[in-house]
């Protein structure tokens, strides 16, 4: 007989940890992101994803924004022209260096960068409450509930979280092509249920991108896939290249257009503090 388990018996923190333990990819550390900062910024700087997210966040010139896990400023930089100020927190020194360099190039002076992680004491980092707190694709953490609680605590008005919908951002077909198992790990459904267990009932909107992605060359396309794997062998590299070639066409300007198995989809999860 099955035990009479109800929703209240579920430990979403434990389920989150269990799912993370079974994922077929390795979370990147700060040193890994330091190395990838420049290429990551270049790849995401002109993505339509940015406008799709920002168009859904109420902003004005008096708003203060806290961007947790800001990376190289994917959202912080375009946000800065719409709001009073942005505080960008990231545990990668390289990411923040790229952000600061890009801010200087754009003559942007209202972004404050802080080297810190979700596990750090934000009060000790002299972080104050902001009108809006954002965490965009940055909640691959050991303790999701504590990270969400921190966002909620430091927001005066509202919180916006952008989380992955499996298999995004991975191409599970690439795993099959090189004969590696694909296990996605936890996605947005864990975030929603963790919030529910915290007595927070968020709004959820699905953001979908195109199935096709353009690259300037095969090398660039290969590089965009390599990050998904650790220690690719020469044979796996060959199979990965064959997989990309079999799913791509050449565009009118000579670009390589790769057709993904699934479109990238993200969940925009938000809630107001007074709700």
Q: Give pLDDT tens digits for 182-218.
A: 988 999 999 999 999 999 999 999 999 988 888 888 9
pTM: 0.89
- Predicted local distance difference test score (pLDDT) of residue 229: 86
Are residues 106 and 180 both part of a single domain?
yes
Report whether 160 contacts 132 (CB < 8 A).
Answer: yes
Residue 224 lies in a domain: yes
Report whether 186 contacts 16 (CB < 8 A).
Answer: yes
Whether the link from the prior residue into 169 is cis, omega within 30° of 0, is yes
Are residues 68 and 204 both part of a single domain?
yes
Residue 2 lies in a domain: no
Residue 1 lies in a domain: no
Residue 69 lies in a domain: yes
Residue 128 lies in a domain: yes
Are residues 159 and 219 both part of a single domain?
no
Are residues 219 and 129 both part of a single domain?
no
Residues 208, 261: Cα–Cα separation, whole Å: 14
- Predicted local distance difference test score (pLDDT) of residue 231: 84
Q: Give pLDDT tens digits for 39-72.
A: 554 555 667 899 999 999 999 999 999 999 999 9
Are residues 73 and 169 both part of a single domain?
yes
- Predicted local distance difference test score (pLDDT) of residue 37: 47
Residues 96, 101: Cα–Cα separation, whole Å: 8
- Predicted local distance difference test score (pLDDT) of residue 223: 86
CATH number at residue 194: 3.40.50.150
Are residues 240 and 267 both part of a single domain?
no
- Where in the sequence is the domain holding 77, given as residue range(s)? 7-209+263-272
**Residue ranges of the chain with per-residue pLDDT less than 70:** 1-2, 25-46, 275
Are residues 205 and 216 both part of a single domain?
no
The strand pairing partners of 272, in sequence order, are 158
Are residues 202 and 230 both part of a single domain?
no
Are residues 184 and 238 both part of a single domain?
no
∠ CA 251-255-256, nearest 5°, is: 90
Are residues 227 and 198 both part of a single domain?
no
Count of structural domains, the chain: 2
């Amino acid at each position: 007989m099955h035990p009479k388990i109800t929703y209240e018996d579920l430990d979403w923190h434990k389920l989150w940890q269990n799912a993370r333990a079974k994922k077929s990819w390795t979370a990147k550390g700060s040193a890994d992101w330091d190395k990838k900062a420049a290429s990551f910024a270049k790849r995401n700087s002109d993505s339509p994803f940015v406008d799709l997210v920002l168009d859904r966040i109420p902003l004005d010139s008096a708003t203060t924004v806290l961007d947790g896990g800001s990376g190289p400023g994917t959202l912080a930089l375009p946000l800065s022209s719409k709001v009073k100020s942005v505080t960008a927190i990231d545990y990668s020194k390289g990411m923040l260096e790229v952000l600061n360099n890009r801010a200087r190039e754009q003559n942007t002076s209202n972004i404050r960068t802080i080297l810190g992680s979700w596990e750090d004491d934000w009060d000790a980092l002299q972080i104050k409450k902001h009108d809006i707190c954002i965490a965009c694709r940055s909640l691959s953490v050991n303790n999701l509930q504590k990270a969400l609680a921190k966002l909620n605590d430091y927001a005066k008005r509202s919180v916006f979280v952008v989380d992955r919908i499996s298999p995004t951002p991975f191409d599970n077909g690439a795993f099959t092509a090189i004969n590696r198992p694909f296990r996605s790990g936890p996605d947005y459904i864990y975030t929603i249920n963790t919030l529910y267990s915290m007595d927070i009932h968020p709004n959820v909107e699905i953001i979908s991108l195109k199935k096709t992605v353009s690259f300037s060359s095969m090398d660039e396309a290969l590089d965009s896939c390599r990050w998904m794997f650790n220690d690719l062998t020469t044979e796996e590299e060959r199979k990965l290249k064959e997989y990309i070639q079999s799913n791509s066409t050449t565009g009118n300007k000579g670009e390589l257009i790769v057709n993904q198995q699934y479109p990238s989809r993200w969940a925009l999860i938000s809630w107001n503090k007074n709700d």
